[in-house]
Structure 1
């Protein structure tokens, strides 16, 4: 005999599985710990400070 299948239950299960796959992909793509974000922000601040330290202002030419 064939197995009786509740189509509504199967559809909902498929949606849950698709959402779980999407959540896993998002965790891989966007998921970073607070410590990782802080470390990256500190490194960015150091780079910006270094660049600001060697920045040269353009000289203004006298008019006339």
Structure 2
């Protein structure tokens, strides 16, 4: 018979569940640095284009 510390077991289980949730959220909502930079560059270009059209 093996003695198991229930507190350690519960904490390990909670950590595993939190890690799984974090991985799921990262896949669902996360963007890479390159994706963020591309999106920012496109937004800046759109803003410049719009400003150029307003001045004409």
Indicate the TM-score class for this superposition, using the shorter chain for normalisation. 0.5 to 0.7
Distance 1:34 1:14 in 2: 31
Q: Which runs of 5+ in 1 are unaligned?
A: 57-64
Instruction: Specify the structure having the higher radius of gyration (Cα).
Output: 1
Instruction: Extract structure 1 runs of 4+ deviating beyond 2 A.
Output: 2-6
**In structure 1, distance between residues paired with 2:34 and 2:16:** 31
With normalisation by structure 2, the TM-score equals 0.66
Q: Residue 17 of structure 1 corresponds to which residue in structure 2? A: 16
TM-score norm. by structure 1 comes to 0.60
Aligned residues: 54
Could you say which structure has the higher helix fraction?
2
Question: Could you list the runs of 5+ residues in structure 2 that have no partner in the other structure?
Answer: none
